[in-house]
Structure 1
Amino acid sequence: MTLHGFPGEVACGAFPLTLKGQAWGCFGALRPGLSSSFEKLAKHFLTQFIASRRRRKPTAYLLTVKQKEGENLKSYLTCFNKERLTTEDQDEKITLAALLGGVWPRSPFMAELARRTPSTLRDFMDWADEFVNAE
Structure 2
Amino acid sequence: MYNGRTDHVEHVSHFNQRMAVHSKNETLMCNVFPSSLGPVAMRWFDGLRATSIDSFKELTQAFGSHFITCSRVPQPLAFLLSLSMREGETLKTYSNRYWEMFNEIDGDFNVIAISTFKLGLPTEHGLRKSLTGKLVISIHQLIDWIDKYKRIEEDQQQGKRKGMVIP
TM range (shorter): 0.7 to 0.9
In structure 2, the residue matched to 1:107 is: 125
Q: What letter matches 2:106 in structure 1? A: E
Q: Which runs of 5+ in 2 are unaligned?
A: 1-14, 154-167
In structure 1, the residue matched to 2:140 is: 122
**For the aligned residues, what is the CA RMSD?**
2.4
Q: What letter matches 2:85 in structure 1? A: Q
In structure 1, the residue matched to 2:110 is: 92
In structure 1, the residue matched to 2:94 is: 76
Tell me how far apart the structure 1 counterparts of residues 61 and 146 of structure 2 sit (CA, whole Å).
47
**Percent identity for Structure 1 against Structure 2:** 24
Deviating above 4 A after TM superposition, structure 1's stretches of 4 or more consecutive aligned residues are: none
Would you say how many aligned residue pairs link Structure 1 and Structure 2? 135
Q: 1:88 to 1:71 in 2, by over 3 A?
A: same
Q: Which runs of 5+ in 1 are unaligned?
A: none
Tell me how far apart the structure 2 counterparts of residues 82 and 21 of structure 1 sit (CA, whole Å).
29
Offset from partner CA, 1:31-55 (integer Å, 9 cap, x none): 4333233333223222212233121
Contact conserved, 1:118 with 1:124, CA < 8 A, in 2? yes
Tell me how far apart the structure 2 counterparts of residues 97 and 20 of structure 1 sit (CA, whole Å).
42
Given candidates 57, 61, 65, the residue that maps to 2:75 is 57
Given candidates 55, 59, 66, the residue that maps to 1:37 is 55
Cα deviation for residue 60 of structure 1 reads 4.8
Cα deviation for residue 57 of structure 1 reads 1.4
* TM-score (normalised: structure 1): 0.80
Contact conserved, 1:66 with 1:103, CA < 8 A, in 2? yes
Q: What letter matches 2:105 in structure 1? A: T
